[in-house]
Amino acid sequence: MILRARAKNGSIQEKSATWEASKTALIICDMWDDHWCKSASRRVGELAGPLNETVKAARARGVFIIHAPSSVTSFYQDTPQRKLAQAAPFAATPVPLAAAQRWGTAWCWTDPKRETVLPIDDSDMGCSCTGAKCEIREAWTRQIATIDLSPGDALTDDGQETWNLLQARGIENVMLCGVHLNMCVLGRPFAIRQMVALGMNVALLRDLTDTMYNPERPPGVDHFTGTDLVVGHVEKYWCPSITSTVFTGQPAFRFKEDTRKP
């Protein structure tokens, strides 16, 4: 597969790599059943089908699948996937796990030693709806049902449980997909910043993600260009990216509302 990274001046650097499936995990971040922002919820609904197809293809190749629907794992308390995560033997981490808390889990904040501020302003929480803005509320109860839980998959939103699962399987490579890239896909305790800090080889599935970005906020670009800017930030400061084509052989996913020329 081709890993896409960026130099500090923003130029794209592509490098070929082979990751052994048995040493690779795919983590699905916060693909919830509903969201307080109607636009965000609609996009997750559209993304879920292609994401599930990618997960199926990755699983068939032997990649370990971790479902990570943050703050709603209790919905799954009686499932084999949740029990698998809880049963993984404790493994010490090479560095302490993030201790800050945000939105129901531990959290890795923006790291000023490693990255600049994000290239989009999400300080209004990023409702991208036109006209009336959505009211923030606890909207989610579970992972969206479109994504299948299969035997052998795990389900957790906990950093230690994630590490235990990875160590028990000798996993060295972690791929991330799901939402939202400017928030949870970077900050959650199973997500990009934490996995990089733990020394994993990390890659973002850049077509299977989205952001919370309101185009009325700086830098004033359309929603999907805003997402691309955050992908560029990740490629520059955190980890390379790939597309779902690696697993599906199909063209990379695009949202219907993304009317830009490919």
In the complex, the residues that contact Zn ion under the rule CB under 5 A are 37-39, 127, 129, 134
Looking at 38-81, which runs of residues are DSSP E strands? 64-68
What does R_g of the chain's alpha carbons equal in angstroms?
A: 17
CB nearer to Zn ion: pick between 42 and 142: 42
Determine the Cα–Cα distance for residues 95 and 25; give it in Å rounded to an integer.
Answer: 20
DSSP class of residue 88 equals S
Instruction: To the nearest 10°, report the CA torsion of 158, 163, 165, 166.
Output: 140
Written as one string, the DSSP assignment of 167-205 is HHTT--EEEEEES-TTTHHHHSTTSHHHHHHTT-EEEEE
Q: Least CB distance from residue 188 to Zn ion, whole Å?
A: 21
Q: Least CB distance from residue 35 to Zn ion, whole Å?
A: 8
- Strands 24-29 and 64-68, how do they pair? parallel
Q: Least CB distance from residue 130 to Zn ion, whole Å?
A: 9
Report residue 79 CA to chain centroid gap: 22
CB nearer to Zn ion: pick between 38 and 254: 38
CB nearer to Zn ion: pick between 21 and 134: 134
Q: Least CB distance from residue 110 to Zn ion, whole Å?
A: 24
Cβ atoms of 208 and 51 closer than 8 Å: yes
Q: Least CB distance from residue 238 to Zn ion, whole Å?
A: 27
Q: Least CB distance from residue 212 to Zn ion, whole Å?
A: 9
CB nearer to Zn ion: pick between 40 and 171: 40
Cβ atoms of 223 and 231 closer than 8 Å: no
CB nearer to Zn ion: pick between 1 and 134: 134
CB nearer to Zn ion: pick between 134 and 168: 134
